[in-house]
Amino acid sequence: QKEVEQNSGPLSVPEGAIASLNCTYSDRVSQSFFWYRQYSGKSPELIMSIYSNGDKEDGRFTAQLNKASQYVSLLIRDSQPSDSATYLCAVRDSSASKIIFGSGTRLSIRP
Amino acid sequence: DAGVIQSPRHEVTEMGQEVTLRCKPISGHNSLFWYRQTMMRGLELLIYFNNNVPIDDSGMPEDRFSAKMPNASFSTLKIQPSEPRDSAVYFCASSLGQEAEAFFGQGTRLTVV
């Protein structure tokens, strides 16, 4: 079983709609969870960090964490064409503190 | 702060040659990660340092790969000898603390011909 799993997509969402990206992880005692955005040919860029159960909002972005279900999600409201990118979910494990990434979900916002 | 700095940005080398990739982490950060990204395998963790000490190198693919961190402001990833299958983008990232997020450098695109 992969440590961090994401649907590879592509996920196509109309401009102005809500994009919903999902991630599951296998290490039950993981403590830190991150969402990164990566444009083609660029390096991953941090969007959100979340450490406790519930929702965390930052502008158009909302991260949701459910540790019991080992599930992290990212919602993007009022999607813009500039949101088209690959979104990477990352988990920092509780013991060795290494950061493991999912394979990413490719998001396309259609005008 | 200038962020994580990697060099070179691009490297083209012939099979069998030695390749050295360099990384300067963000000042004050005490964790450093080396990742490799390919279309097929995504973003793979190669090795992780904490306070300049290698903590987990289980992702290093073969003995041809080695990494060092002689001080808090510099790390190298060496491939000797290089092979065409090593062609990928190599990223260095750093973080502050053992639960914090990591910040990435611009990456080094390695092509082995």
Run means of pLDDT, 10 residues per run, chain A, 111 residues = 84 97 89 96 97 96 95 97 97 83 96 90
Give the model's pLDDT for residue A31: 85
Rounded to an integer, what is the distance from CA B113 to the centroid of its chain? 20
Higher-pLDDT residue of A8, B67: B67
Give the Cα separation of B55 and B68 in Å (integer): 12
Q: Tell me if chain A has a CB within 8 Å of the CB of B74.
A: no
pLDDT of residue A39: 98
For residues B35 and B21, is the Cβ–Cβ distance under 8 A? no
For residue range B79-88, list pLDDT tens digits in order.
999 999 999 9
* pLDDT in the model for residue B102: 96
A39 contact B CB<8A = no
User: Is the Cβ pair A101, B43 closer than 8 Å?
Assistant: yes
CA distance A107 to chain B (A): 16
List all residues 6 or more positions away from A80 whose beta carbon is below 8 Å from its beta carbon.
Answer: A15, A109
- The verdict on a CB contact (< 8 Å) between B99 and A98 is no
